[in-house]
Amino acid sequence: MEQAQALAIVRSLAAGVDPESGEVFPPESAYQRPQIVRALYAAAEALDRSERFERRKAQLPAKTGEPWLEEEDRRLLAAFDAGGALAELAAAHQRTQTGIRARLVKYGRLAA
């Protein structure tokens, strides 16, 4: 089951509505109890955060957050010293421009 589908189901339950039939649960239903409703809203918020994180992560370069290897550092510094632009270096190393900038600051090539 995809997170979006799970989120829709949990939100429906939290609203006191049967996600399959669309009918409102009766007042004596567990889905109408305040503690359960609050728990369902908390679960929906967690699913929503997770879904946003996964969407953002999918848009980031492949090596974002991975440790740097010494060889990669050497290639980065050589390319920067040869005049490589941040965007170009980020694409070549599959990193964000922020990650490239941080690495160059670490090695004294850019001011903090």
Instruction: Tell me the average pLDDT of the chain.
Output: 95
pLDDT at residue 59, as a whole number: 93
The residue-averaged pLDDT of 34-52 equals 95
User: Of 6, 76, 91, 3, nearest to 40 (Cα)?
Assistant: 6
Percent of the chain with pLDDT strictly greater than 70:
100
pLDDT at residue 2, as a whole number: 87
pLDDT at residue 93, as a whole number: 97
pLDDT at residue 14, as a whole number: 96
24 pairs with which residues across the strands?
17
pLDDT band per the 50, 70, 90 thresholds, residue 1: confident
